[in-house]
Chains A and B, each alone.
Chain A
Amino acid sequence: MSQTLFEKIWSSHIVLEQDNGPSLLYVDRHLIHEVTSPQAFDGLRMNKRMVRRTDLTFATMDHNVPTTDRSLPIVDQISSKQIQVLEKNCKDFGIELFDIHSPNQGIVHVIGPELGMTLPGATIVCGDSHTSTHGAFGALAFGIGTSDVEHVLATQCIWMEKPTTFEIKVEGKRKNPHAVTAKDIILSIIRQIGTAGGTGTVIEYRGETISDLTMEQRMTICNMSIEAGARAGLIAPDEKTFEFLRGKKYVPKNYDELVSYWRENLKSDIGVHFDKSFTLHADKISPQVSWGTNPAMTTDVTGTVPFPEEYSKGNPDEEKAAHKALQYMNLKPGMQITDISLDRIFIGSCTNSRLEDLIEASKIIKGKKISSKVHAMVVPGSQLVKKQAEQLGLDKIFKDAGFEWRESGCSMCLGMNPDILASGERCASTSNRNFEGRQGAGGRTHLVSPIMAAAAALAGHFVDVRELDLN
């Protein structure tokens, strides 16, 4: 019987199957960070349990670490304690940790692929919903809660109901691939299928546009699968995938042998049935800007802030939510998106903080100055990204333009560290969530691509990057 890529990975990881109920799946890689793990380790201690496979478990600190000078002590005592607790837990249980001073420290979903911990066909879990990022490599990767973190530590397995399959096809060529980015593709998808459009499913992204994307762009797409409610998102691996991972620090020694196997096996069979399908055409996608308080509340940069009744398409609950969102965002229906003025610019997060994101953004900035009205910062996704960017001189380009150039971490994507918006501040952000207060209580977030954020930094308001000379 023909199978989807997801079904192939699923069935090859079943430890135990029951007629009625969830399956016990084996986990190939378990990534840990400081915020969702302390209670899991406590649980292990309380029950005198060990970590079953320390060799498949890796930890880093990313969510609450400061992005300022790392030689200075951490001012926030509670953050500092959480970091110390992770250090102690990793030491006590024998887990490899990339700590705040490690050259491999970074956002867990950035370092996984760049260190080769992420592998095609693998099952990967982490106590973080953006674990879906690793699906870009053809891995089955999903976020879990802390109880499941404890469960995986103790058993290297997870109980899971089999999700259904969802094919999202992106067809055709983008007219201007520098201006219309992977971020615009995924925001367009979420805008159309909704924040619960993928609930209960594993999405497989397919089609010519997806094949054309670089690995970094594919990560941006898979990263936001959770914003459509999906359990995971994945893309069949190809030569780009295999080349990206070749030679990375933690890839297995028999890499070439594995690649031969992956090349033959890790794809959905021709003509296979998906439970759900959705198609969009790349040439119809414009640069996207979110206007509301969830990622589906998004529109074209050339558009206007919608009227709630128009946005909600007759759903009274959604209409009410749109009214509330506009009130929170302090926006009026009918207003041009390009008339929205900004206070802050954030380029970073597990969605858009990789080298390519920074290169693309820097092209816009080079030799220019940011608007005097905005405060702008770049937070590279990892120490490695930071180092590579500095070797290319990107730090200088950003700093000369007036950006702050920071150390790596999650930073203002969720504002657990000191990088937050003040109440009422409006931010163009390359992150993934525009929920109320996400970047700081009362802060207003507009989700955009790195190049849109960079252009907005110069102008002080949103601009259609298709009008800029990007070559």
Chain B
Amino acid sequence: MESFKKIKSIVTPLDKVNVDTDQIIPKQFLKLVQKTGFGQYLFYDWRFENGTKPREDFVLNSSKYYDSKILLTRDNFGCGSSREHAAWALLDYGFRVVIAPSFADIFYNNCFKNGILPIMLDSQSVEKLFNNSSEIEVDLLHQTITTDDIVIPFEIESHRKKTLLEGLDDIAVTLQYEDKITMYEKSKPKL
């Protein structure tokens, strides 16, 4: 997994609550058996009319945001299906940061497994970012978001921060504790 340290970019504002993973990546694209190539299908039904013509009123279709690496959205982002394809699609499209007042649990967890930083901010700070149109900098090490005028600190669990900063492979970390897993298995009757 690619590590995450710092990113500077303009912010794509997606002003919607409860964005579910069915919208992030519709089901017809879940048939692929690899992790890449999902970016073209991100927010497919919102981005394209009849699957071809870009919808002018959808924010991702504004050329202003083509190079954006930061998605800003509202409460309960990523609810619904556990499909990790949602995280793969965001990453493949180019997003490395998602900022929202709250996230659904499974999606939140899936982000960290793919080098995406989901940031939970209070609603007021989110509102400030919705009103900010210039570039911002997200610095994971110092846990700050910096705009032209303000610095917004953010919280993140220390182990998640470490995983992202170092781009750690979860499984390799766990396998260091293999003796403990074996011990657990020996101590319990098989269920």
- With a CB–CB cut-off of 8 A, which chain A residues contact B184? 15, 26
CB atoms of A127 and B82 under 8 A apart: yes
CB atoms of B171 and A154 under 8 A apart: yes
CB-based nearest A residue for B101: A317
CB atoms of B33 and A252 under 8 A apart: no
Choose one: B18, B22, B178, B185; the contact of A438 (CB below 8 Å).
Answer: B22
Question: What total of A-B pairs shows CB separation below 8 Å?
Answer: 174
- Quick one: which of A20-52 are within 8 Å of B by CB? 20-22, 24, 26, 28, 35-36, 38-39, 42-43, 47, 49, 52
CB-based nearest B residue for A325: B18
CB atoms of B31 and A148 under 8 A apart: no
Q: Does B81 contact A (CB under 8 A)?
A: yes
CB atoms of A150 and B159 under 8 A apart: no
Given A21-B158, A151-B171, A229-B76, 11 more A-B residue pairs with CB atoms under 8 Å apart are: A15-B180, A22-B159, A38-B34, A42-B33, A64-B30, A143-B106, A154-B174, A317-B16, A416-B28, A435-B20, A437-B22
Instruction: Given A145-B82, A156-B181, decide whether A317 and B17 contact each other with a Cβ distance below 8 A.
Output: yes
In this complex, the member of B82, B114, B169 whose beta carbon has the largest number of chain A beta carbons within 10 angstroms is B82
Q: Does A441 contact B (CB under 8 A)?
A: yes
- With a CB–CB cut-off of 8 A, which chain A residues contact B152? none
Give CA–CA (A52, B175) in the complex, Å.
Answer: 11
Give CA–CA (A81, B79) in the complex, Å.
Answer: 28
- Give per-residue flags for A375-390: 1 if the beta carbon is below 8 A from chain B beta carbons, else 0: 0000000000000000
Give CA–CA (A227, B110) in the complex, Å.
Answer: 18
- With a CB–CB cut-off of 8 A, which chain B residues contact A438? 22, 27
B161: min CB distance to chain A, Å: 11
Number of interface residues of B (CB under 8 A): 53
Q: Does A144 contact B (CB under 8 A)?
A: yes
CB atoms of A143 and B82 under 8 A apart: yes
- With a CB–CB cut-off of 8 A, which chain A residues contact B30? 35-36, 63-64, 416
Choose one: A15, A49, A129; the contact of B181 (CB below 8 Å).
Answer: A15
Q: Does B9 contact A (CB under 8 A)?
A: no
CB atoms of B157 and A436 under 8 A apart: no
Q: Does A82 contact B (CB under 8 A)?
A: yes
Q: Does A93 contact B (CB under 8 A)?
A: no
Give CA–CA (A119, B18) in the complex, Å.
Answer: 33
Interface residues on A, range: 35 or more
Cβ-closest 10 pairs across A and B: A147-B113, A145-B84, A38-B33, A145-B110, A21-B159, A143-B82, A129-B82, A196-B76, A146-B84, A78-B31
A51: min CB distance to chain B, Å: 12
Q: Does A280 contact B (CB under 8 A)?
A: no
CB atoms of B18 and A321 under 8 A apart: yes
- With a CB–CB cut-off of 8 A, which chain B residues contact A15? 177, 180-181, 184
CB atoms of B79 and A196 under 8 A apart: yes
CB atoms of B31 and A64 under 8 A apart: yes
Q: Does A424 contact B (CB under 8 A)?
A: no
- Give per-residue flags for B126-166: 1 if the beta carbon is below 8 A from chain A beta carbons, else 0: 00000000000000000000000000000001110000000
CB atoms of A148 and B109 under 8 A apart: yes
Choose one: A76, A294, A317; the contact of B74 (CB below 8 Å).
Answer: A317
- With a CB–CB cut-off of 8 A, which chain B residues contact A157? 174, 181
CB-based nearest A residue for B157: A21
CB atoms of B17 and A20 under 8 A apart: no
CB atoms of B177 and A16 under 8 A apart: yes
- With a CB–CB cut-off of 8 A, which chain A residues contact B174? 24, 151, 154-155, 157, 159
- With a CB–CB cut-off of 8 A, which chain A residues contact B35? 39, 146
CB-based nearest B residue for A194: B76
- Give per-residue flags for B102-115: 1 if the beta carbon is below 8 A from chain A beta carbons, else 0: 10111001100110
Q: Does B6 contact A (CB under 8 A)?
A: no
CB-based nearest B residue for A414: B27
Choose one: A47, A82, A144, A441; the contact of B33 (CB below 8 Å).
Answer: A82
- With a CB–CB cut-off of 8 A, which chain B residues contact A226? 80
- With a CB–CB cut-off of 8 A, which chain B residues contact A318? 17
- Quick one: which of B1-57 are within 8 Å of A by CB? 15-18, 20, 22-23, 26-28, 30-35, 45, 51
Instruction: Given A21-B158, A85-B33, A416-B27, decide whether A144 and B106 contact each other with a Cβ distance below 8 A.
Output: yes
CB atoms of B104 and A147 under 8 A apart: no
Give CA–CA (A422, B144) in the complex, Å.
Answer: 46
CB-based nearest B residue for A47: B171
